[in-house]
Amino acid sequence: MPGIMYHLSFAEEVYRLANPEMDKVAFFSGNLIPDLATDKKLSHHRASASVNGFFIPDMKFVKSKLFDLGNPIKLGIFCHLYLDYRFIEDYLIPEFIWDKENMRVINPRNGNSWPVAEFFAKPAQGGILYNGYTQINKRLLEDGHVNFDTLKMLPEILPDTGIPVYDSRREKTWREELNGYLSEDAPYTGEALDYDRLWKAISTFATQFVEELA
C-alpha cells in the first residue's frame, strides 16, 4: 500500500540506523524490486489484514524465506514487505475509523469523512488516499528523507535476485514510476494524511526494524 517514496524514505532511515557498511545499491534495489514484479500477489505473499479489504504480507513466511543479513538484496526485499505490513496494520488502519455500516472512512482528528469507494479510488478518479500520498511525496524529498544521491546510485534496471517471482518484472522501471509520481502536483492540505504523523510512523518502524535485526 505505501508507494515508492515511502519505501525509499524508510530504506534510507533503516540504512542510516543499521549498517552504513552494507552494500547500499543492493539493499535499495531489494527495497524497490517487489513492486516491479509482474505478479504482485505472489511477490508480496499476501494475507488478509485485520480490516476486510486490506492485504498484508504473511510475515512469518516472508521472514523464513527472505531474512538474510548476509544478502543485502534479500534483506531489502524483506524490508519492503516489513514496511507494507507495518504501514497498513500499525499506521493506516488505526489512523481512520472504518464505518462498515455506512461504508464510510472517517478521519477522527478533523471529522472529515468519505465514501469508501471515493477514499480508495484511483488517482485519476480523485481518490482521497492516493491524493494524500501525492501531497506528501515532495515533502519527503524537501525534508531529505529521500536522498537524491542515493537515487543517482541506483541502476535503471535493477539486478536479478535469483528468486523467479522477483525476477519476472513489468516493463516500466522504478525510475519511470518515481518520475511519474514526482510530476504530480497536489498542494498539501492534511485533510486525509497528516505529514508529521506519517513520518513519525515511518521513523518508528525503521527504528524497530533495526532493533529486530540485532
Q: Over pLDDT 90: what percentage of the chain?
A: 86
Name the nearest CA neighbour of 182 among 3, 2, 1: 3
- Report CA dihedral (7, 138, 178, 38) to the nearest 10 degrees: 40
> Do residues 181 and 134 make contact, with C-beta atoms less than 8 angstroms apart?
yes
- Note the pLDDT of residue 89: 97
- Model confidence, pTM: 0.95
* pLDDT tens by residue, 142-160: 999 999 899 999 999 999 9
Q: 132 in the Ramachandran plot: left (φ > 0), alpha (ψ -120 to 50) or beta?
A: alpha
Name the nearest CA neighbour of 132 among 71, 73, 194: 194
> Do residues 12 and 147 make contact, with C-beta atoms less than 8 angstroms apart?
yes
- Note the pLDDT of residue 21: 79
- Note the pLDDT of residue 101: 93
Is it the case that residue 24 has pLDDT exceeding 90?
Answer: yes
* pLDDT tens by residue, 33-76: 999 999 999 999 999 999 888 999 999 999 998 888 889 999 99
> Do residues 204 and 11 make contact, with C-beta atoms less than 8 angstroms apart?
no
Number of neighbours of residue 125 by Cβ within 10 angstroms = 10
CB burial readout 10-37, b (16+ within 10 A) else e: bbbbbbeebbeeeebbbbbbbbbbbbbb
> Do residues 59 and 82 make contact, with C-beta atoms less than 8 angstroms apart?
yes
Q: How far apart are CA 132 and CA 191, in angstroms?
A: 8
Query: 210: pLDDT confidence band, cut at 50, 70 and 90?
Result: very high
Name the nearest CA neighbour of 130 among 193, 44, 197, 43: 193
C-alpha cell at 77: 526485499
